Structure 1
Amino acid sequence: MTTTKSPEQRDVETVVAAGLGRDVIFEYLRNAGVDQLFGVPGTNEVPIIDGTDVKSNLISYVPCLHENIALGAAMGYARLTGRPGVVELHVTPGVGHAIGNLYNAAKSHIPVVVLCGQQHSDLLFQEPLLASDLVRTAEQHTKWSYEVRGPDEIGPAMQRALKVALAPPQGPVFLSIPWEFTVQPARDEGQGRVTRIAPGFIGDPTEVERAARILSGAPDPVIVVGDGVGAADAWAEVSALADKLVNPRIYSEPLSSFMNYDTADSRWRGELPAFQEKMRQVFEGAGVAFLCGFNAQAQLVVFNWARGQLIPPDVPLVYLHNDPWQLGKNFYGEAAILGDIKATLPRITALMPDPPAPDGSRASDDATRKRDRERRAAVVAKAASLSTDGRIPGEAVAVALREVQDKGLAPNLTLVNEAVSDSGAFQKHLRFDTPTSYFVGQGGSLGYSMPAALGTALADGDRTVVNVVGDGSALFYPQCWWTADKLDLAILFVVLNNQAYKTLIIGLEEVERSYGWYPTGPAGYLRLPPPPDLDFVQLAAGYGITGEHVTVAAELEAALTRGLEHVRGNRRSYVIEVATTADVPSPEARTWFDEVVVVP
């Protein structure tokens, strides 16, 4: 005999099956493949953190000493795994502390789910301690932000948050949850299931045909590969399209957060210059520019309308992106295709005729690149001898790291980079095997790389994780070394200590050139002469991490070898502090291709 259950009986069984609001959260995270929760303890979040002690949840808690570290670590984890990075924050101060890396996650299109403990819902009207409109604080830098209004909303809100974070283009989402909902019974008939939007949609056939027609046979073509290419893992597809063009020049977008193209391909010219005049020079005279997955279309600090738009208006533009916002965002396009990059590129390529036979074979790419690196290494050695302060050029670190890499001491290298003024050197000298083997926080908010290295090391223990970071950025969050020591994370931290904000010094020169404005004095506030007792190796030792100093370029390779052997052999982190020069190259010598890197 079948007994019909009343709605009330079904409701009670649903509550029992789902458990508390906290349990619903973990059901969704577990089903999404999440196995790490990053955060800083707060009273409101204790029920959520406590959930990581429930073995059946299969999720570990990663304690951090600052909310921006937790969010940065979640970024690194998400980028390398492809799964959502999840972080818990503590009310208003927690959100405020994490805004910098929330901004970086948004600009870098990283799927991060932020769970923020709000104060008791019955108290919010009375403006209790630490409470505020958390959604309003976070929403500018998220794809979706929401405050849960009851325990029964937790399940649907988690489903939507995970769906939105992973849908193309990916990005961070934010959920504010009054803490009492996490310890109350919660209905959830969704059973932890998350809708996945299939990303591989192909662009409109008519627009694909138009793009192929514009690209075919155009003289001096330029391709800009943005983070959309890296996210789609579309190196091979871009290369196949480039084969149909005559002598194409391929550039990455400025401050790329992925490695967006194979650096061994001689057609790749590095990142677009982050200076107005130099960027215009790249495009001037081009018969066409193909902007493929191009997000950071104005990634510079100084701009003067009188000097012209970044891409001259007479250059025909073709766009391809899975994000409609990026199509024609700043510049008119002759063709604009909304479609998945990896799926759509072959459709364009198939419609393009083969170009005339090339003068030489691309089989010599490796030899050409090797000659370029050797020539450049000689230039760097000369620069070291000419340095006005007797310190090491930052590029020398990249040269030495490539030598170590060639000896097999850095297998599966993943470089987390925040040595911004030397980014081009690390991109050009090192060998990268996948788009995710290189990471930068594209937003440019300082203090992302050391936290991201934590999440990267947790995401894949088989990678060799190297974090290169300037002294200014390293001073933001040395507390990262506490987490690295506590969790036995294998990371080689290389601190480039030039005792200056070198990037800002270069930026000031651009202001002077563009606007004719000069500072009152020598701008000593852009220098960071440390007090006698500021020592990064000693600072790291206070957190349990060992390391060493390097003050001579000839000792770099040996030091990096010792560091990598320590990291890979002991599964422990290591810090190398390198005394680098603050000498600024001339405006004419600020790309990797120029012979001179330092003019004293």
Structure 2
Amino acid sequence: MTTTKLPQQQDVETVAAAGLGRDVIFDYLRNAGVDQMFGVPGTNEVPIIDGTDVTSNLVSYVPCLHENIALGAAMGYARLTGKPGVVELHVTPGAGHAIGNLYNASKSHIPVVVLCGQQHSELLIQEPLLASDLVRTAEQYTKWSYEVRGPDEIGPAMQRALKVALAPPQGPVFLSIPWEFTIQPARDEGEGRVTRIAPGFIGDPAEVEKAARLLSGAPNPVIIVGDGVGAADAWAEVSALADKLVNPRIYSEPLSSFMNYNNADERWKGELPPFQDRMREVFEGCGVAFLCGFNAQAQLVVFNWARGQLIPPGVPLVYLHNDPWQLGKNFYGEAAILGDIKATLPRITALMPEPPTLDDARAEADDTRRREREQRALAVTEAASRSTDGRIPGEAVAVALRKVQDKGLAPNLTLVNEAVSDSGAFQKHLRFDRPTGYFVGQGGSLGYSMPAALGTALADGDRTVVNVVGDGSALFYPQCWWTADKLDLAILFVVLNNQAYKTLLIGLDEIGDSYGWYPTGNAGYLRLPPPPDLDFVQLAAGYGIDGEHVTAADQLEAALTRGLEQVRGSRPRSYVIEVATTADLPPREARTWFDEVVVVP
């Protein structure tokens, strides 16, 4: 007797054969090359986490002790690998805890895919424990946010999420998934395949020609290299265009999340000063400004309209970016090219006439820059050696790290930086071999660097990962040391302990200068208690990480050597060095590294 199956029965069997909703998620992650998932366990996400125990899924679970750590670690992984960073979060508290680094990922254009477990879909109307409108929580800081409405939507949602995260300009996406869908049968005809939008599109030829015409022969030209340049790995292309200009000055955008240009090139003057008057000075008398991949066009805390816009009127502006939002965002552009930066820059350069031959002058200028850096390093070391209070200038740490780097103890350095008030010193003194050799969370939300260092170390074991972090930022997530120890990650953590929120003290000084307002008291809330109340080495030891204190400049090089020998040794392990640094504010005229001013303690 032959039994005829009803269509409904056939559908059920087809769905069952396709696997569970959880399996569909891993089909897409595996095909996208993702091999790490960061998160904090929650009941709703256990089925997804359990999927990392399935060998064929090829994805490992990285346990973290806070959702913002998980998000930050996914950022570091994504930045170094170029793959999506994937993080699972737990309902409303998890999404809320991760907002700081979700914001950083958005501003830094990092492709992160957030999978957030939602409560049971049929219970949501009753407003159950921990539930909320998760999409509204996340959508302001993502390229796309969505709540899946059934198990069969998981496949299309994953395909779109990965496609959107990786499409230029890259950025985070968010999927809320009611937990029961992950353990229900799910249909997916996409077979885990992800659409990849080719990023190398070339800008409009007419606009390219206009840009070349504006740039050619302009006096006192300025190039601002933003994170779009770093993301495109376009150091060489920017350099080739600069070769066609006469005496160009090249600046990075403030708080760059990449190393956006080769710091050994004498034409690079550091980051734009994050202060209104000083930023205007960069553009004064400029014949043309080329804003190339420039995202952070207003990266400062204090602004006063009475002092004028950040770029003075009358400066011709030329834009190039793969993100239309950034073109003419704040200032009118004479030419605005929408195109891939690495692919389009050579088209502009090819249309520009050759300037007078300056090869010998360039080589001499680069050599002069090298000597000036060495002289500066010597002056900083000598000044630090005269300290009598056991506190060291932050720049002395950068100088010592360069000495160790020159000995070959930090090959393939990746510096994850959150010593914000000393950023210029590390940019000036260290050697970087690629844009991703330097990482900052551009949003400015504190607590990104220690988590990002975790993801960076997992992404590429051949890199030497050094995390320099201020004491205020280190207090956000010392739980990172638990993950570092649990996974045997090899990271050198250098905590610059100046017992203060130094960047806030600088900001307060700027408010006083711009508006004449000062706190009524001594602003003791901007200071942190001295040891023994706050001991980062002891704190790290509680998580299983060894370390040491440094209170004299002549101890720095030896301490960094010991730390790197452990990080790069036969049994690589993380190490913590706490350096007692000064909280003294530099003179106002020395608030970018480019000014040759040494602060003597």
TM-score band, normalised by shorter chain: over 0.9
Measure how far apart 1:380 and its partner are: 1.3
Over the aligned positions, Cα root-mean-square deviation in angstroms equals 1.5
Task: Give the equivalent residue in structure 2 for 1:250.
Answer: 250
Q: Tell me what 2:413 maps to.
A: 413
Partner Cα distance (1:179, 1:516) in 2: 54
What does residue 67 of structure 2 align with? 67
Matches of 1:309 and 1:366 in 2, distance apart?
A: 33
Deviates more, 1:158-167 or 1:376-385: 376-385
Shift in Å, 1:386? 6.2
- What do residues 521-554 of structure 1 show as CA deviations (whole Å, max 9, x unaligned)? 2222111123624211110000000011100001
Q: Deviations over 1:24-62 (max 9, x none)?
A: 000000000000000000000000000000001010000
Identity of aligned residues (%): 89
Offset at residue 360 of structure 1 (A): 4.1
- In the alignment, what sits opposite 1:539? 539
Report the equivalent of 2:334. Answer: 334
Structure 2: which amino acid aligns with 1:294?
F
The residue matched to 1:345 in structure 2 has which SS? helix
- 3-state SS of 1:38 partner: strand
Distance 2:112 2:149 in 1: 22
Equivalent positions of 1:156-195 (< 5 A) are: 156-195=156-195
What is the distance in 2 between the residues matched to 1:405 and 1:555? 16
Give the SS at the match of 1:561. Answer: helix
Mapped to 1, the partners of 2:364 and 2:389 lie a distance apart of 39
Query: What do the CA deviations read for 1:401-456 (whole angstroms, capped 9, x no partner)?
Result: 00000110000000000000000000010000011010000000000000000000
Displacement of 1:373 in angstroms is 1.6
Map 1:83-122; keep pairs closer than 5 Å: 83-122=83-122
How many angstroms apart in 2 are the aligned matches of 1:433 and 1:301? 31
Q: Which amino acid aligns with 2:66?
A: H
Contact in 2 for aligned 1:379/1:596 (Cα 8 Å): no
Corresponding residue for residue 312 of structure 1: 312
Please list, as runs of the form range in 1=range in 2, the aligned pairs for 1:162-311 lying within 5 A after superposition.
162-311=162-311
Distance in 2, matches of 1:359 and 1:148, equals: 59
Report the Cα offset of residue 594 of structure 1.
2.1
Residue type at the aligned position of 2:59: I
SS at structure 2 position matched to 1:196: coil
Residue in structure 2 matched with residue 560 of structure 1 by the alignment: 560
| Map 1:27-46 → 2, pairs under 5 A | 27-46=27-46
Q: 1:378 is matched with which residue?
A: 378
Partner of 2:430: 430
Cα distance in 1 for residues equivalent to 2:497 and 2:366 = 33
SS state at 2:513 partner: helix
Q: 1:475 corresponds to which residue?
A: 475
Q: CA deviation at 1:381?
A: 2.7
Please give the secondary structure, in 2, of the residue aligned with 1:187. Answer: coil
Q: Give, as a single letter, the amino acid of the residue that structure 2 aligns with 1:168.
A: P
Whether contact under 8 Å (2:38, 2:63) holds in the other structure is yes
* CA distance, structure 2, for counterparts of residue 443 and residue 269 of structure 1: 22
Q: Specify the alignment match of 1:588 in structure 2.
A: 589
Distance 1:331 1:5, change over 3 A: farther
Q: CA deviation at 1:98?
A: 0.2
Q: CA deviation at 1:155?
A: 0.3
CA offsets per residue over residues 229-278 of structure 1, 9 Å max, x none?
Answer: 00000000000000000000000000000000011111000000000000
Q: What CA distance in whole angstroms lies between the structure 1 residues aligned with 2:359 and 2:546?
A: 53
> In structure 1, what is the equivalent of residue 150 of structure 2?
150
Task: Look up the match of 1:464.
Answer: 464
The alignment partner of 2:122 has SS state of coil
**d(CA) in 2 for partners of 1:47, 1:357:** 65
Question: Any idea what SS the aligned residue of 1:214 has?
Answer: helix
What's the counterpart of residue 575 of structure 1? 576
**Unmatched 5+ residue regions in structure 1?**
none
After TM superposition, the score normalised by the length of structure 2 is: 0.97
* 8 Å Cα contact 1:14-1:189 kept in structure 2: no
Tell me the TM-score normalised to structure 1 length. 0.97
* CA distance in 2: counterparts of 1:139 and 1:61, whole angstroms: 25
- Residue 127 of structure 1 corresponds to 127
The verdict on how the C-alpha distance between 1:531 and 1:426 changes in structure 2, with shifts beyond 3 A counting, is: closer
Q: CA deviation at 1:375?
A: 1.6
Distance 1:326 1:155 in 2: 32
Which residue pairs with 2:550 in the alignment?
Answer: 550
For residues 132 and 575 of structure 2, the distance between their equivalents in structure 1, rounded to whole angstroms, comes to: 40
Structure 2: runs of 5+ lacking an equivalent: none
Q: Deviation digits for residues 344-374 of structure 1, max 9, x if unmatched?
A: 0000000000112338432235532321221
Answer with 520-529 or 87-96: which moved more: 520-529
> For the residues of structure 1 that align with 2:243 and 2:160, how far apart are their CA atoms?
41
- The answer to whether the 8 Å contact 2:390/2:580 transfers is no
Mean CA deviation greater in 111-120 or 530-539 = 530-539
Give a deviation string over 1:541-571, Cα, whole Å, max 9, x none.
0000001110000110110000000111021
> Per the alignment, in what secondary structure is the counterpart of residue 38 of structure 2?
strand
> SS of 2:561's equivalent?
helix
User: 1:413, 1:401 → 2: CA distance?
Assistant: 11
Name the CA distance, whole Å, in 1 between partners of 2:35 and 2:84: 10
Distance 1:343 1:18 in 2: 42
Matched with 1:501 is 501
Q: Distance in 2 between matches of 1:594 and 1:382?
A: 18
Match of 2:357 in 1: 357
8 Å contact kept, 1:387–1:583: no
| CA–CA distance in structure 1, aligned partners of residues 9 and 434 of structure 2 | 53
Q: Deviations over 1:131-163 (max 9, x none)?
A: 000000000000000000000000000000000
Contact kept in structure 1, 2:498 and 2:582, CA below 8 Å: yes
Distance 1:231 1:14, change over 3 A: farther
Do the aligned residues in 2 keep the contact of 1:379 with 1:595 (CA within 8 Å)? no
The whole-number CA distance in structure 2 between the counterparts of 1:491 and 1:10 is 54
Distance 1:365 1:547, change over 3 A: farther
Q: 1:260 to 1:173 in 2, by over 3 A?
A: same
2:385/2:554 contact within 8 Å kept: no
> Which amino acid in 2 is paired with 1:586?
P
Counterpart of 1:58 in structure 2 is 58
